[in-house]
C-alpha cells in the first residue's frame, strides 16, 4: 500500500518512516514525485533533485550512526527564496541573483542544516517580500490549491510556502513575516504559521525588507512539526511543549475590530473555533484596544517598512528599481516622500504602541488576542491584476496581521475552518512580546482541540 501524501501524515508517523533504514531517501523521493505531480501549482522557483537526494542520503547515514540524531533529521523542508541556502542562488523574487550581496547562510538555516533536514528547493516570494497578496510578474503565481476551478492567490509574501506543504512536497516551510507574510499565506492556504517576536531569531542571511519589523517564521501542517522546528532554531525554547498543555483557563481576548468587514463565512468559522476552545475550558473576553486602531492607522499611512524598503533599493540595489513589480513601483514615489522627521516619528510611534499593547493586554487580563487572521478570502489572480484592486486587497489581507508586527507580539495562525466559498480561514492567536515559547505551547494546546489542518479541512481539491 502506498504511503499517504506528506500533508496527511502526522509527525509521529512521518518521523517513524524517516527513522527506518532508508527512510529519509524514501521520503525525499515521495517529495520529489509530488513536486513533479503538482508543477501546475508553481510553489518553487528552483529545485535540485540531485542535491535533495544527496542530503537525504546524508541524513539517513546520520540517523543510522547516531540514535540521538536530531528529531528533524531527514525532514523535507522548503525554503523561501529570501533566505540564503547553500547550493541555491537567492533571487528574493527579483530577476537576478543577489548572491554577491548576501553570500552566507544565516542562523535560522544553519540551525536546520545542523539538524540534517533535507531542503527540497527555493519557494517563490513576492519581489523583495513587499506585498501580502502573493503575485509577482517575474514568475508564475503560486496557485492556491483550495479552489478547483479558479486560480486564486496563496497569500504573500511567502507565496510558495503554504502551497509547497499542501502539494505534499515538504513537511516544513521557512517563511518571513514583516506585516503578516507568514500568517497570511498560512491562513489563505490552511496551514499553521508561527510569527516570532522581532529580534528573537537573527535575520542574518535573509534579504531584508524592513530591519525594524522583519521576523523569521515557519509554516507546517502539524503543530508538532512547528514545535520541533522551534526547538531546533531556538534553544531557549526547547521546553515550549510543556506550557501550556491545555487551553483550560487561558484567557483569550476576542478583538471585535478584527471581525469588521469579514467576508462571508470567515467570522462564522472563527466564532465556531473559539466556541470549541471555550468548551475545552478557554475563557473568552471581548476586548477593544485603542492601540490596535492606532496600529492600523499607521499601517495605512505607510508604517516604516516601505521607507526602509525604498532606502534599501535606492542605496543597495539602484539598478533593480526600474525592473520592480509595477504594483511595487507604483507605490514607490509616495513612499520616498516620507521625510526623515516623519520616519523617526513613525519609529517612535511603534515603540509607544509596543509598550501600550502589552499594558492593554495586562489591563484586560488576557493571555492572548484572537480573531480572524485575514478578513478576506484569497482573491482570484485575475481580480488583483488591476492595480487599484491589488492595493485594496493587499491592505485588507494584512490589516489584522500587521497589528502583531507593530505591537511586537509573538503568536500563530491555525485553520479555523472553511469560509462560504470553501476556502481556508485562519484563527490568529497573538501573545506578548518574547512569549514565543508560550505561544508554541498554546499552539500545541489549540491544535489538540481544533485538530491538525488535514483533519479539520480535508485535502485541497487541486492537489494531485
Active site residues: 80, 157, 181
- From the list 331, 302, 334, 287, the residue with the least C-alpha distance to 398 is 302
Q: How far apart are CA 440 and CA 426, in angstroms?
A: 16
Using an 8 Å Cβ cutoff, are 215 and 195 in contact? yes
Is there a contact between 229 and 113 (Cβ–Cβ < 8 Å)? no
Rounded to 10 degrees, the C-alpha dihedral 368/263/176/43 comes to 140
Residues 6+ apart with CB under 8 A from 26: 17
Closest CA to 9 of 213, 241, 170: 170
Please tell me the total number of residues recorded for the chain in this structure: 464
Order of strands across the sheet that contains 410-418:
44-46, 118-123, 76-80, 172-177, 215-220, 192-195, 410-418, 424-431, 368-372, 251-255, 283-287
Q: What would the grid cell of residue 246 be?
A: 491545555
Q: Which residue has the cell 520616519?
A: 343
Amino acid at each position: 500500500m502506498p504511503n499517504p501524501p506528506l500533508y496527511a501524515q502526522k509527525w509521529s508517523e512521518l518521523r517513524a518512516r524517516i527513522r527506518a533504514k532508508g527512510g529519509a531517501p524514501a521520503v525525499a523521493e515521495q517529495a520529489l514525485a509530488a513536486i513533479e505531480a503538482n508543477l501546475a501549482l508553481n510553489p518553487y522557483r528552483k529545485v535540485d533533485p540531485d542535491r535533495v537526494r544527496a542530503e537525504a542520503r546524508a541524513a539517513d547515514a546520520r540517523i543510522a550512526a547516531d540514535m540521538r540524531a536530531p528529531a528533524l533529521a531527514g525532514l523535507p523542508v522548503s525554503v523561501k527564496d529570501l533566505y540564503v541556502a547553500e547550493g541555491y542562488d537567492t533571487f528574493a523574487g527579483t530577476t537576478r541573483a543577489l548572491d554577491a550581496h548576501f553570500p552566507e547562510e544565516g542562523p535560522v538555516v544553519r540551525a536546520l542544516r545542523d539538524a540534517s533536514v533535507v531542503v527540497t528547493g527555493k519557494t517563490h516570494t513576492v519581489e523583495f517580500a513587499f506585498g501580502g497578496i502573493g503575485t509577482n510578474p517575474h514568475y508564475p503565481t503560486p496557485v492556491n490549491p483550495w479552489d478547483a476551478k479558479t486560480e486564486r492567490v496563496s497569500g504573500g509574501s511567502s507565496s510558495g510556502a503554504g502551497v509547497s506543504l499542501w502539494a505534499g512536497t515538504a513537511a516544513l516551510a521557512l517563511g518571513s513575516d514583516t506585516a503578516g507574510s507568514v500568517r497570511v499565506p498560512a491562513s489563505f492556504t490552511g496551514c499553521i504559521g508561527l510569527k516570532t517576536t522581532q529580534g528573537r531569531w537573527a535575520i542574518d542571511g535573509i534579504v531584508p525588507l524592513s530591519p525594524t519589523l522583519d521576523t523569521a517564521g515557519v509554516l507546517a501542517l502539524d503543530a508538532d512539526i512547528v514545535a520541533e522546528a522551534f526547538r531546533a532554531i531556538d534553544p531557549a525554547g526547547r521546553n515550549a511543549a510543556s506550557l501550556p498543555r491545555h487551553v483550560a483557563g487561558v484567557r483569550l481576548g476576542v478583538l471585535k475590530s478584527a471581525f469588521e468587514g469579514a467576508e462571508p463565512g470567515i467570522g462564522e468559522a472563527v466564532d465556531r473555533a473559539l466556541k470549541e476552545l471555550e468548551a475545552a475550558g478557554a475563557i473568552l473576553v471581548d476586548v477593544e484596544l485603542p492601540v490596535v486602531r492606532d496600529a492600523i492607522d499607521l499601517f495605512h499611512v505607510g508604517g516604516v517598512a516601505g521607507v526602509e524598503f525604498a532606502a534599501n533599493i535606492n542605496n543597495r540595489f539602484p539598478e533593480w528599481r526600474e525592473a520592480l513589480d509595477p504594483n511595487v513601483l507604483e507605490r514607490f514615489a509616495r513612499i520616498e516622500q516620507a521625510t526623515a522627521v516623519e520616519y523617526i516619528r513613525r519609529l517612535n510611534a511603534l515603540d509607544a504602541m509596543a509598550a501600550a499593547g502589552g499594558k492593554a493586554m495586562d489591563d484586560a487580563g488576557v493571555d492572548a488576542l484572537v480573531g480572524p487572521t485575514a478578513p478576506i478570502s484569497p482573491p482570484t489572480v485575475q481580480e488583483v491584476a488591476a492595480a487599484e484592486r491589488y492595493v485594496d486587497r493587499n491592505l485588507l489581507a494584512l490589516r489584522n496581521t500587521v497589528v502583531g508586527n507593530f505591537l511586537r507580539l509573538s503568536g500563530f495562525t491555525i485553520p479555523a475552518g472553511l469560509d462560504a466559498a470553501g476556502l481556508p480561514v485562519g484563527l490568529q492567536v497573538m501573545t506578548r512580546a518574547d512569549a514565543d515559547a508560550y505561544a508554541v505551547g498554546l499552539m500545541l494546546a489549540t491544535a489538540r482541540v481544533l485538530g491538525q489542518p488535514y483533519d479539520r479541512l480535508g485535502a485541497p481539491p487541486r492537489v494531485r
